[in-house]
């Protein structure tokens, strides 16, 4: 018999569901494994493709001995979410797990823990660093902004360089970038200026999972094959397999390109409303609009096609008049990012002077985070 606080177990099961796969089959990726750890805790393990995780979970009673067991992950989440009690009790006999919460109970067929690849503790690392958890979440949110599924994502790049952790992504057209100050905890003496890359879906799962962890700092560990995230006390860690042969991205060329500020936008909602109006003539989500920054502090958005035309405008602070064409999807995404992570929706619209194009640059917070979106000529930015 094992007894666990209901809310603690539900919280861990939800994180496991985020990191795992949907569906059901008698394979490890659809289960969570519970293995002995200490007298007061058990370790919950998740395995799903490029992600492995282990999360410490306190127990109020445990007479199960030193043998672990597995539970169907999504079924546990649904049962725990629907039930309401202070304590959950678990009994596993042979292949059958019995879970009781108050007057509610569930019986489920399980799998042997011997077939489950348990996540290992953090071992030798090439580089270990620590960053602010809120800033890391914002960087991941920005990294997925430009990856709207239209072009092929190259993944999310974690690039330690000269005291900053640069987190960037591109789908070959749209480029997102953040820089985070990092505290180096451990290094093997190497320079470690190569980027570690994880798939975009992995980054999306990490972003969702981090929201459930109540921590101020997150540690990032670079190993030969993995990128590992953990809390300071190492009560949880998430192992993510790195992309074996990532495509090089000329991130520093984007970062160091000459930038011209076109205007400062003080009203996020006005920009969103103007985009909605200007794209209303088309049902295509991949709209391209004409964007004009005028000398009289007006930004106008305009679209026309065989159905007609639509136009909207609002007040901005003009710095350099300009007119261009731009896809609306990354602008919408960046506006959403600013609402969640920005400074009251105030951001800057600019352009980059590059040899093959003049992409729009949407930024805030002294340009340490920005999105570069194609304009005029849609050209790849991956070197």
Q: How does pLDDT run along the chain (383 residues), one tens digit per residue?
A: 889 999 999 999 999 989 877 767 788 888 999 998 888 899 999 998 889 999 999 998 887 777 889 999 899 999 999 998 999 999 998 889 999 999 999 999 999 998 888 888 888 888 999 999 999 999 999 988 766 555 567 889 999 988 889 999 988 778 899 999 888 877 876 666 788 999 999 999 999 999 999 899 999 999 989 999 999 988 999 999 999 888 888 888 888 889 899 999 988 889 999 999 999 988 776 788 999 999 999 999 999 888 889 999 999 999 999 999 888 888 888 888 888 887 667 889 999 988 777 889 999 876 678 888 877 433 333 33
User: CB-based contacts of 22: which residues, under 8 Å, 6+ apart?
Assistant: 74
- The rounded Cα 303 to chain-centroid distance in angstroms is 32
Q: What is the pLDDT of residue 158?
A: 95
Distance CA 166, CA 139 (A): 9
Residue 367 to residues 133, 145, 163, 347, Cα–Cα distance (Å): 20, 16, 17, 10
CB-based contact 357:222 (threshold 8 Å): no
Q: What is the pLDDT of residue 381?
A: 35
Instruction: Enter the pTM of the model.
Output: 0.88
* Best CA proximity match to 196, nearest among 240, 232, 250: 240
- Return the bridge partners of 369, or none: 178, 364
DSSP 8-class letter at 343: B
Question: In the chain, where does DSSP find H-type helix?
Answer: 6-19, 73-82, 133-143, 200-210, 251-256, 268-278, 328-341
């Amino acid at each position: 018999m094992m007894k666990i606080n209901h809310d603690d177990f539900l919280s861990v099961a939800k994180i496991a569901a985020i990191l795992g796969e949907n569906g059901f089959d008698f394979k490890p990726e659809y289960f969570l494994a519970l293995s002995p750890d200490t007298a007061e805790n058990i370790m919950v393990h998740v395995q799903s493709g490029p992600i492995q995780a282990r999360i410490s979970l306190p127990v109020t009673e445990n007479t199960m001995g030193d043998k672990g067991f597995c539970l169907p992950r999504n079924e546990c989440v649904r049962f725990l979410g629907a039930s309401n009690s202070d304590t959950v009790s678990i009994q596993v006999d042979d292949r059958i797990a019995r879970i009781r919460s108050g007057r509610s109970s569930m019986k489920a067929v399980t799998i042997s823990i011997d077939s489950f690849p348990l996540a290992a503790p953090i071992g030798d690392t090439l580089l270990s660093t620590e960053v602010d958890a809120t800033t890391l979440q914002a960087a991941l949110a920005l990294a997925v902004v430009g990856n709207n599924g239209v072009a092929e994502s190259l993944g999310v790049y974690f690039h330690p360089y000269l005291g900053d952790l640069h987190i960037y992504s591109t789908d070959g057209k749209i480029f997102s970038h953040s820089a985070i100050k990092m505290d180096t905890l451990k290094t093997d003496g190497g320079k470690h200026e190569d980027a570690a890359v994880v798939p975009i879906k992995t980054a999306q799962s990490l972003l969702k999972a981090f929201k459930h962890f109540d921590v101020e700092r997150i540690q990032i560990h670079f190993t030969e094959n993995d990128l590992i995230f953990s809390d300071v006390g190492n009560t949880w860690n998430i192992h993510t397999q790195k992309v074996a042969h990532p495509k090089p991205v000329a991130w520093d060329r984007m970062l160091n390109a000459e930038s011209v500020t076109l205007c400062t936008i003080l009203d996020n909602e006005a920009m969103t409303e103007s985009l909605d109006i200007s794209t209303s003539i088309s049902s295509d989500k991949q709209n391209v609009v004409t964007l004009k920054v005028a000398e009289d502090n007006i930004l106008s958005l305009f679209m026309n096609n065989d159905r007609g035309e639509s136009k909207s405008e609002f007040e901005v602070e003009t710095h350099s008049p300009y007119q261009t064409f731009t896809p609306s999807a990354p602008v919408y995404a960046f506006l959403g990012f600013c609402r969640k992570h920005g400074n009251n929706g105030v951001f800057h619209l600019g352009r980059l002077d590059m040899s093959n194009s003049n992409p729009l640059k949407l930024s805030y917070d002294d340009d340490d985070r920005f999105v570069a979106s194609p304009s005029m000529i849609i050209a790849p930015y991956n070197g």
